Structure 1
């Protein structure tokens, strides 16, 4: 025994070297078994490097005790101290696997299998393992030989000589050699049956994919055929006997335990089907009855034992079916649902510890990779690997998966597989659950190289990698583009000139030759960019064709792609981000406005995805003002400031137009079920908020440049007409009034000059020619119209309205709302407007007659010559003017007594009138329908033509595009026009009753 002082020193040293029970370790080191080497420093250092030094030390003592005699013990210890490779290998295994330590204790000379350390020993294949199993004459000796081979694999693994993928491949090769040996034993036991049949063993699952676990069912399928002249029925019975015996040899438990279960349940009809079938029987089943998951399983099929020629014939025969599986109806959805069912069937108590099947687990990686393989592998043979990591690399090389995503997924999969390997290695038990015991977690963490705080570090790393897997699984596995690609016919996934021309003609492209030139420009070459385009274009062509002008859609796509060609995120966005590709196709083929906006700001493509671009949800006025005002502060001068504000406006107009188009056209994932009124409100509110924010930024820029922080007079902008009503269209002018009030101590004349200069400068800056859509500020609704001053004080407005105001001016004030500038000043203006627009006691009959007279005059004088009144959305019967004047008349008559009518918005006022009983519900619905439809038509015309219009286009293609936006498919233009006339006619009947006769 050591002296107490020395014992204390050793105890401390053992703690420092990672032993958790230094007292027990000290006793073992002082015991007779290790007396020859107890003072050797290399031994302690080697033990400290293992996953579990206590376990390694116990295993070493047990191995030494098991040696047959003193000489054998001495040989082991001398070799252990002299040969570092053996020391690292042997102690590494003993510190990671109690099961292999037990094996060594039962077979004490098997440690010699770890002595060899030559290059050819580093990565053995099937032939080397077959030599290692060659001496096995019965199931028991086969198990011993198998464990001896497993010992060498584990040694290379825990020492880092092989990585996790190489270890998994070695385990699959050892399984192959074991199946061959077991089949050899079965044949030797039944030579008569063996003479009757050919039997091929097809590895499936992880064994077939060359990525086996330490302990796993080995999935197989058996194929049998009669030898020449033999009866087929007898041959299949003989093959079944051989297959069954082979399975028992591997699966049954003996004094040496079992190897692993051989599972043949992936065969046709599962456990209810015959264990062995002929090749023709297999093919008949797959052609008629097989389910989607069975083809997914066949992705990993590989002949491994028995008649390899027959096995190769089987794989060659089923392979074309595998790569056609994606063409099955609901293929992608079936695979996705299958993955969901796997997760749902995990016991609740285990789901958080489930390393393989749980969310963020190994199966998430495998299913995502396999789904991408099956969809894209039809046209790309480079993807047809049964090995997950090889397939992932091929997907990244081909541009089907982002390189950064592939790197992250690869690292996460390797880490999770390493966890799985080390968990199973400890007891050689089939499990995928992360242990809960702290000792087990500590051993697991240390085995993965986590040494500072193994348990905490393991938890963090596991959580991080699982989170990456979950995120990328959701991104790849549920990618909308996948389902669209899967629905293409095989020839459509390849962009060969002949196939492409035929498809273009079939899809209705008017100029296939020009379209082919675009395809060639986009997809030719060997670059990654071209590879991704080749994935996208077959699907995009179909989406472009689902529009009035597919040629324009493809041309616009080429322009955007050329503009963003060197931008790394562009094609990645289309491939990976939700419905971005389909959204872009809809937007580019829906007309001129949205593509024109996008060409001026191609980076706005980012808005079409699900990421940080913010999506297609229009931004509120507060956020828009915040961004525009920040841009104004950064700008050098008013001209640059307003240019920056217009840049924001351009991007946001695109966002609004894209949201409108996608909401109107729908996508394959979200068919059109849009509330047409909601879309109208969305566009009107969003464009009005954007215009208000732009005016706020322009006002700030003008004031800052001319006066610094403070203008000599308080200043406000009042929105009028559609602007004040939150009903602006894409091409609407901004009707406004300007109001100011001198600050205390400022001369009124000076204040007036400053206010006028502000107005003039704002209008000038907004009208500077540029590529941006114009924003015309119209102040013609001011007192005295064009002949009156552009800006007045509140008192001046009050004096004018008190003495000179006409009824139409009071009517115009119904839409007045503060949109920019001094809120308090604007509110005071609205206070003086309220008695005019909501007169106490209602409207006098004379005023009512005047409004009707003005309306009738407008109808007769302002309708453009040659226009069809019945199709004029603004001035025609049942159009916007009819509905708005009717609603406004009700507001002026009853606004003083019904607060709900005091709104600038037409639809809200109409709803309030209905709720107040001022208009019957059916008539209110008729007017609302007509107003919404007329507004939608005007928005459609602007989107399609790129310029405003109040009537349907005369160009047939443009007319079809307007119909598509309104939900009318091919050949239904006539229905659209008839429906409009019918809706307008019904609305005019209500107007005649309420406005003219009421």
Structure 2
């Protein structure tokens, strides 16, 4: 193999330069196999080779000792191939090559006390003292401090790069980096004490206590390899005037920062940033504890409390630091109750994104969409909102916080796992990028060779196949999309705003106080409500924890409904039915729409509550508008056919058909309650569900009958009444006509018997109890009372019989009823023939005055005889004055009079007919508008009666509570029952006047 091919196989990219280094005299005498074995471990073999040659040139003996040890060779080349800056440190300080040692299977963890001791000893300070003073000062102290710091940093990098799973080791690395930075601050502060002692006297300086409060990632013990260390200073003095305390405190803080960042023989470590202090850059560098407290009480902004979430006493006087932590904690955990808190945090996140230079946005690991800031802001917002009442969330670092949020149920398990994995992965990428030059950067490299090295160094020491730059890019993009999705779904979770405004007394009440609060909210049975709450929230299971979070908000939303007691009871039953279903409570937590919709229907609809109890899995529709789109007739019929093919047994087939209809009724009702459907769309969707069920039942009935005897006829079902007009509501009967046409050559009497057997079986199938019984089943009643001769006539007639009947004996009321006839189920050809038969009847050439008088006489008779005894005509929704019947009879009279000349009037829908009546000028436009408004309101109230009580009623409620419930469903606000009543009575009075003027002619 040629040298070039060998270099390529080992991952080299700059072949010419690497060949020159391989020819360097420093490598003479080294075993090539050992050399290439070491370079194979390096993420960037070009960099590793160059640094190795330069290292040999400076300290050959120490380097060869490490090279000769097979256990140390791999760690050495991994370090040199990942960090040019740490390689240069070893070139400057080869005596520290001993930190490159064989790594154990589980790398050691160096504790904070050990690091503090090491760095204090480096400046001759006593680690046992709370406020130690260095024995050296000036440049020599800074050099010793920085060299010791970098020795430990190099030791950590060797262990990190040698770990088989960097994402697992990431929290350990981040903690140790923060502890190392804290130790450097402590040692540098010891040097500052020594230097100020020379000016003010060591006794005076000792009387000034300074606490260094680490903020940001250092405060949370999740620091990067290179980062500004954010701090806040707290000062206090014994028996010293304020000016002296402030001057010395400022000197200590400035000296400490100088010790780690000023120019010197050993380069600076990182910048100490005190801009998070009160008033920022314009504020005093050091403040007393009382001054801090006063500022946070009066002047602090929302973002400052978010920053304080990470505050930790890191260096300096430990007792003062502890008091600072205790003093500011209440501000942190009460901050979410500030007006507009959640919105302010969200706005801050958007500003961070908006301020990214456009050319950097696509490369940002930290600030860009799907970056580390998305994770951190998401976690911190949840902590601040919920941590006020849940102390388990009061942790500083992001990884631990994600685990706490998951354990307490604020984030779903899978989302928390994804968030944790993504955060660790992005942090590992950030660490590897920073390690190269030990520069503060969060940008993904653009150079292909740098991307290749990054891909290799971030995978762990056990990966033998070098990942490609493209695979790294793809994984990073997948992670960004995942983080962005989680950020948007959790960070913008609407319930956060509600949770932020909860008071402690809303969720932490004694039994007596809780009952009083429930009563104040409107619960009629506070004791019963408490029993439900205790059942839902008792225990340590995850479901109970989630319900403890949700119930304070849900209880208030139930109270916004008409019957909060029923809402809470329904929620308990639903929760018990769904058991440990992972999606249910998570959906309510994450989706404001789902939670509000559920509370609204449970506290305002017996109909929907009953159906949800037996179909609890349907609750998942609440979180998605798309899931609430009613199924089309074609989709339902296709599903029914599939069910019948797999379950040919009639009892099981009809059970499944009825379950499909029940499911669609529930979907339509929820969509209706969520204002996703217009009233016309509700009627059409309900009609489609009935049509699919009747068609399925007809096929089942025919299969039973034809299974016992030869087919003799085709049966067709024609929809009539509101079913024909596709304007039905919940619980409506299906008005139908049965038609059959015998097959050619068969005995007509036998065909008639077969048709009667089919329709009898059809009705039985649709009304018989399901096995097993299904609660809340709304049986589809078939009503054939509009057939010729009414209830006295035969149930089903042949096509020829209908033709003859309508030719010889048809009455005008039957022509009126046929106006709404529409094919519902059965043979299309027979249905088309039947329509030809009835079109001449329902669209007559002329309507005689005798027929008009007869229609008027029948209408008056209906009003006097069919109105229930004792019913108030002004409140009856169907037969009352100006109600549904008045509008429909007037429309149908106009259709009988004009449909022959105006084909557009040949429609089954009342509303569609009104549109034509208005456009053709058959009635004045304002009269049509009045009829339409009255008809719509009466229809809506009829639907609301069923929805509210689970039972049909044709009366405008008189009970205040029932009236309130119906008003809510009709779109009125709270306490508007009387408004609905007044509107209905006024509207129907106007409608009645229009009806009488045009129907009776006066």
The alignment's TM-score, normalised by the length of structure 1, stands at 0.92
Given candidates 162, 167, 170, the residue that maps to 1:164 is: 170
Alignment-derived partner of residue 4 in structure 1: none
Alignment-derived partner of residue 666 in structure 1: none
The answer to whether 1:211 aligns with 2:222 is yes
Secondary structure of 2:566's aligned partner: helix
Alignment-derived partner of residue 131 in structure 2: none
The answer to whether 1:184 aligns with 2:187 is no
Choose 548-557 or 946-955, whichever is displaced more: 946-955
Residue by residue over 1:669-707, the C-alpha shift from the partner in whole angstroms, topping out at 9 and shown as x without a partner, is: xxxxx8xxx542232122111111111221222233443
List alignment gaps of at least 5 residues for structure 2.
124-136
Residues 544 and 586 of structure 1 are in contact (CA less than 8 Å); yes or no, is this contact kept in structure 2? yes
Alignment-derived partner of residue 350 in structure 2: 340
Shift in CA distance, 304/727, structure 1 to aligned 2, threshold 3 Å? same
Alignment-derived partner of residue 730 in structure 1: 730
Alignment-derived partner of residue 127 in structure 2: none
The answer to whether 1:20 aligns with 2:13 is yes
Given candidates 438, 441, 444, the residue that maps to 1:434 is: 444
Residues 214 and 230 of structure 2 are in contact (CA less than 8 Å); yes or no, is this contact kept in structure 1? yes
The answer to whether 1:655 aligns with 2:667 is yes
In 2: Cα distance, 1:341 partner to 1:746 partner: 82
Shift in CA distance, 703/448, structure 1 to aligned 2, threshold 3 Å? farther
Alignment-derived partner of residue 521 in structure 1: 535
Given candidates 53, 60, 64, the residue that maps to 1:77 is: 64
Shift in CA distance, 49/637, structure 1 to aligned 2, threshold 3 Å? same
Residues 103 and 162 of structure 2 are in contact (CA less than 8 Å); yes or no, is this contact kept in structure 1? no
In 2: Cα distance, 1:718 partner to 1:173 partner: 82
Secondary structure of 1:324's aligned partner: helix
In 1: Cα distance, 2:828 partner to 2:274 partner: 78
Residues 637 and 705 of structure 1 are in contact (CA less than 8 Å); yes or no, is this contact kept in structure 2? no
Secondary structure of 1:871's aligned partner: coil
- Between the two proteins, the alignment pairs up a number of residues equal to 967
Given candidates 464, 471, 480, the residue that maps to 2:485 is: 471
Alignment-derived partner of residue 694 in structure 1: 693
The residue correspondences of 1:309-320 to structure 2 (distance < 5 A) are: 309-320=319-330
Shift in CA distance, 766/442, structure 1 to aligned 2, threshold 3 Å? same
Shift in CA distance, 332/900, structure 1 to aligned 2, threshold 3 Å? farther
Alignment-derived partner of residue 807 in structure 1: 812
Shift in CA distance, 468/901, structure 1 to aligned 2, threshold 3 Å? same
Residues 494 and 538 of structure 1 are in contact (CA less than 8 Å); yes or no, is this contact kept in structure 2? no
The answer to whether 1:559 aligns with 2:573 is yes
Residues 62 and 97 of structure 2 are in contact (CA less than 8 Å); yes or no, is this contact kept in structure 1? no
Once the 2 structures are TM-superposed, how far is the Cα of residue 600 of structure 1 from its aligned partner? Answer: 1.9
Alignment-derived partner of residue 640 in structure 1: 652
Once the 2 structures are TM-superposed, how far is the Cα of residue 471 of structure 1 from its aligned partner? Answer: 2.2
Alignment-derived partner of residue 683 in structure 1: 682
Residues 878 and 985 of structure 1 are in contact (CA less than 8 Å); yes or no, is this contact kept in structure 2? yes
Alignment-derived partner of residue 77 in structure 2: 91
Residues 266 and 294 of structure 1 are in contact (CA less than 8 Å); yes or no, is this contact kept in structure 2? yes
In 1: Cα distance, 2:348 partner to 2:916 partner: 51
Shift in CA distance, 250/750, structure 1 to aligned 2, threshold 3 Å? farther
Secondary structure of 1:847's aligned partner: helix
Shift in CA distance, 98/872, structure 1 to aligned 2, threshold 3 Å? same
Alignment-derived partner of residue 174 in structure 1: 180
Residue by residue over 1:854-912, the C-alpha shift from the partner in whole angstroms, topping out at 9 and shown as x without a partner, is: 22221121111111211111111121112222222233333334444332222222223
The answer to whether 1:33 aligns with 2:22 is no
Alignment-derived partner of residue 497 in structure 1: 511
Residues 43 and 81 of structure 1 are in contact (CA less than 8 Å); yes or no, is this contact kept in structure 2? no
Alignment-derived partner of residue 832 in structure 2: 827
Secondary structure of 2:674's aligned partner: helix
Alignment-derived partner of residue 367 in structure 1: 377
The residue correspondences of 1:485-884 to structure 2 (distance < 5 A) are: 485-494=499-508, 497-610=511-624, 615-663=627-675, 679-707=678-706, 712-743=712-743, 748-770=748-770, 771=774, 772-840=777-845, 843-884=847-888
In 1: Cα distance, 2:638 partner to 2:886 partner: 38
Residue by residue over 1:558-601, the C-alpha shift from the partner in whole angstroms, topping out at 9 and shown as x without a partner, is: 11122221434333332334532222221111132111111222
In 2: Cα distance, 1:744 partner to 1:25 partner: 96
The answer to whether 1:297 aligns with 2:307 is yes
Q: CA RMSD in A?
A: 2.6
Alignment-derived partner of residue 49 in structure 1: 41
Residues 578 and 610 of structure 1 are in contact (CA less than 8 Å); yes or no, is this contact kept in structure 2? no
The residue correspondences of 1:444-459 to structure 2 (distance < 5 A) are: 444-449=454-459, 451-459=465-473
In 1: Cα distance, 2:796 partner to 2:265 partner: 102
Once the 2 structures are TM-superposed, how far is the Cα of residue 641 of structure 1 from its aligned partner? Answer: 0.5
In 2: Cα distance, 1:310 partner to 1:520 partner: 43
Once the 2 structures are TM-superposed, how far is the Cα of residue 391 of structure 1 from its aligned partner? Answer: 0.8
Once the 2 structures are TM-superposed, how far is the Cα of residue 109 of structure 1 from its aligned partner? Answer: 2.8
Choose 682-691 or 559-568, whichever is displaced more: 559-568
Choose 554-563 or 306-315, whichever is displaced more: 306-315
Shift in CA distance, 980/110, structure 1 to aligned 2, threshold 3 Å? same
The answer to whether 1:65 aligns with 2:65 is no
Residue by residue over 1:521-569, the C-alpha shift from the partner in whole angstroms, topping out at 9 and shown as x without a partner, is: 1111111121112112211111111122111111111111222214343
Residues 494 and 534 of structure 1 are in contact (CA less than 8 Å); yes or no, is this contact kept in structure 2? no
Shift in CA distance, 350/736, structure 1 to aligned 2, threshold 3 Å? farther
In 2: Cα distance, 1:266 partner to 1:824 partner: 82
Secondary structure of 2:213's aligned partner: strand
Shift in CA distance, 703/433, structure 1 to aligned 2, threshold 3 Å? farther
In 1: Cα distance, 2:106 partner to 2:627 partner: 56
Residue by residue over 1:440-498, the C-alpha shift from the partner in whole angstroms, topping out at 9 and shown as x without a partner, is: 11111111227354212212222222222222222222223322222211222336534
Residue by residue over 1:163-212, the C-alpha shift from the partner in whole angstroms, topping out at 9 and shown as x without a partner, is: 11111111111121122233333333333384564322211111111111
In 2: Cα distance, 1:885 partner to 1:406 partner: 62
Alignment-derived partner of residue 429 in structure 2: 419
Once the 2 structures are TM-superposed, how far is the Cα of residue 942 of structure 1 from its aligned partner? Answer: 0.7
In 2: Cα distance, 1:919 partner to 1:274 partner: 81
The alignment's TM-score, normalised by the length of structure 2, stands at 0.91
